[in-house]
Structure 1
Amino acid sequence: MPAPFTFRTVLTPTAVFRPVLGWGAFLTVLFAAPALAGPLPTPVLWAVLAGIVAVIVVCAFGVVTQAEHLARRLGEPYGTLVLTLSIMLIEVILISAVMLGPGEHATIARDSVMAVSMIILNLVIGAALLAGGLRHRDLRPNRAGVSAYLTLLLVLLVIAFALPGLVGTEGGYTSGQAVPVIVLTVVLYGFFLHRQTGARRADFQEVTAGRSVGAPDAEESGRPGLGPLGVPARHRSEIVARTVLLVVTVVPIVLLSHDMTARLDDGLGRAGAPVATTGVLIAMIVFLPETITTIRAALGGEIQRVSNLCHGALVSTVGLTIPSVLTIGLLTGQSVVLAEGPAGLLLLGATLLLTLVTFSGRRVTAPQGAAHLLLFALYGVSVFA
């Protein structure tokens, strides 16, 4: 593909507008810092916060858009991996900004990852199964791939939420426990990625009669010996351009995240909201674009892509966020509380069991999606009631 055509295709007005908006918002906040310093009137605080959140969401949509284009070029599971790692990066940035900001935030990682888990496994998957099940009668996940995801999720979620309360101190790992947990978690996740993108790649592609939906673009499929690395070679300029645009779009999110989290804490404190609200809002902001992508995949009948987006995102989130926050805790001396309470553990266990039942059958259906949505509603009651 000629480079000028590629750049015209990549640098659309919308694609350019998103990073320009992000960088413009950052510069505005930077130059307006003296006027915004100190306690702001509540209406002004919420207006500033709403503006920052809106810009972050717009930029997040830009990141997801570029990741989706890369997904179509790279095929499954590489494409979805780019998307889920992009989303995970945004979440880690926001959580780290909270931890490194003013005030005590010992439970922010627990609250955020727990909220992400319930949002992905119940709200997003429930909505996707409901929408896809009402449109399609034969949605068949690749059970080998889903089983691999759930195996890792079971272990990672136990490490994140159950084990610290049993072997740690005051709901968190001690320094001596945190180091091996970090190393073993990263090694497990790395080994999973190695298998997912290598020998077990077919486990994460759509179950179809013909060519997998998750294979690279149709124009590439007929070329023997091309392989997953051949597609980037044929479209290097487009892939490089989209990758650069993705990075340029995600950087304003990083720069705005510190200001957002500080004002979010202030606003929620004035509103008397529960402590876990910050984590829930971060999770909802981060996964809004991917939620829309997942529902679109379900409406298109790509149920394994739904699993790749949701289960893969959660594996990446837990597998990388927990080591990241534990590392920050060790380096800064902050307390990192991960242990979840009885109600949270019960809901999480029920969610994992329901997920296993849902995806172990030959087909997934709309009533199963409704059951996942009910569990998410119960989680909301446990947080805000």
Structure 2
Amino acid sequence: MIVGVRSLAVRWTAIVPVVAVVLLALTWGSHLPAAVVPLVTLVLAGSVLAAVHHAEVVAHRVGEPFGSLVLAIAVTVIEVALIVTLMADGGAKTASLARDTVFAAVMIACNGVVGLSLLVASLRHGIAVFNPEGTGAALATVATLATLSLVLPTFTTSKPGPEFSGPQLTFAALSSLVLYGLFVTTQTVRHRDYFLPITRQGEVITVDDHAHAPSTRTAARSLGLLGLALIGVVGLAKGVSPTIEAGVAAAGMPPAVVGVIIALLVLLPETIAALRSARRDRVQTSLNLALGSAMASIGLTIPAVALASVFLSGPLVLGLGPVHMVLLALTVVVSSLTVVPGRATPLQGGVHLVIFAAYLELAVTP
């Protein structure tokens, strides 16, 4: 019976990503009829679950922190492609799309995913434990990237409005790539042990003993299906966005809410994977996923849109407004206080979730 259930799980996680890509190809560029939206939403949800499954297979084969890095980069690369595509199609009305998407990813990851992970782990196991050296390095990189790319454009004077001049944008793009490259090298080569889960006695967990590692062939198959699933998630999320836009407009909410909803859909695979790790008392893996996603979102998106801006018409608005800068500063301060002890209680998780709730509230009622 158990073997049959596992076989069924393997089959549907292989079928759904293919169905998602086929459905995406059939519906790309067309307005979805109301009768098709429920089907697309169902396949989208299945793709999210399939992506989580295949990401965990790959992560178990390659080990941490490579596993969480694979999922973070895969999601972000596809998200960047979606942003550039929308900017090419949207013209001037998408001038702030990159900024809004990146900031939404940072707030979702650093407050939503981190808060839920700490809350789940501490409620289930009494206290959430993680490595402050690795988590602190990730947080410092995220804070620096966010400030250089999203805060400074508001205060520069070379161009009117919250925009970078050409040389400034080039510097921000190169800085993002350098910092992200340095972090990945630190995470995977020089100080890999800083990013591995630890026990309550502070010992590094180098081997996950809950199951045998899958074969190389199985991991390679899951890596390919992970890519298909993520393409389906991002593409189908774009497909249902007109329906979301209509619902948001009918509810009288600002258009920025659409970006938040789509960002939530796109980051669902990482969120579910992070919560599963938190339940297994692997909080470091959860934090690797959350902060890695925020970092990759900035470190890969800004260089991509900087390059795309050479070929695209219209302005590129990157600078945040006062309210969002306050929320970003609060996030950095609170995250620093959370990281320093290397341990967290439900209180810290609750504080991050309240900040995330404030971000959502101000997105709905600015």
| TM > 0.5 fold call | yes
Give the aligned partner of residue 176 of structure 2.
185
Give the aligned partner of residue 56 of structure 2.
68
Give the aligned partner of residue 365 of structure 1.
345
Q: Note the C-alpha offset of 1:133.
A: 1.2
TM-score (norm 1): 0.83
Does structure 1 residue 323 correspond to structure 2 residue 303? yes
Structure 1 pair 339/89, CA: closer, same or farther in 2 (3 Å)? same
Give the aligned partner of residue 227 of structure 1.
none
The answer to whether the 8 Å contact 1:297/1:305 transfers is: yes
- Give the alignment of 1:1-385 within 5 angstroms: 12-29=10-27, 33=30, 36=31, 44-45=33-34, 48-49=36-37, 51-103=39-91, 104-167=93-156, 169=159, 170-208=161-199, 209=201, 212-215=204-207, 235-253=215-233, 256=236, 259-261=239-241, 264-265=244-245, 268-269=248-249, 272-385=252-365
Tell me the SS of whatever aligns to 2:128. coil
Per-residue CA deviation, residues 103-125 of structure 1 (Å, 9 max, x unaligned), is 52111111111111111111222
Equivalent AA in structure 2 for residue 96 of structure 1: V
The answer to whether the 8 Å contact 2:172/2:302 transfers is: no
* Range moving further from structure 2, 186-195 or 257-266: 257-266
Please, which runs of 5 or more residues in structure 2 have no aligned partner?
A: 1-5
The answer to whether the 8 Å contact 2:238/2:262 transfers is: no
* Range moving further from structure 2, 99-108 or 365-374: 99-108
* Range moving further from structure 2, 21-30 or 104-113: 21-30
Structure 1 pair 10/145, CA: closer, same or farther in 2 (3 Å)? farther
Q: Note the C-alpha offset of 1:259.
A: 4.0
Q: Note the C-alpha offset of 1:248.
A: 3.2
Give the aligned partner of residue 3 of structure 2.
none
Please, which runs of 5 or more residues in structure 1 have no aligned partner?
A: 1-7, 221-230
Equivalent AA in structure 2 for residue 335 of structure 1: P
* Range moving further from structure 2, 53-62 or 363-372: 53-62
The answer to whether the 8 Å contact 1:97/1:257 transfers is: no
The answer to whether the 8 Å contact 1:74/1:216 transfers is: no
The answer to whether the 8 Å contact 1:164/1:338 transfers is: yes
Provide the rounded CA distance (Å) in 2 between the counterparts of 1:10 and 1:92.
33
Provide the rounded CA distance (Å) in 2 between the counterparts of 1:377 and 1:214.
35
Count of residue pairs the alignment pairs up: 357
Equivalent AA in structure 1 for residue 207 of structure 2: A
The answer to whether the 8 Å contact 1:84/1:316 transfers is: yes
Q: Note the C-alpha offset of 1:270.
A: 5.9
Structure 1 pair 252/134, CA: closer, same or farther in 2 (3 Å)? closer
Tell me the SS of whatever aligns to 1:197. helix
Per-residue CA deviation, residues 320-371 of structure 1 (Å, 9 max, x unaligned), is 1122222222221332211111111111101111111011114111011111
Structure 1 pair 79/189, CA: closer, same or farther in 2 (3 Å)? same
Instruction: Calculate percent identity across the aligned residue pairs.
Output: 31
Provide the rounded CA distance (Å) in 2 between the counterparts of 1:79 and 1:262.
34
* Range moving further from structure 2, 144-153 or 82-91: 82-91
* Range moving further from structure 2, 247-256 or 335-344: 247-256
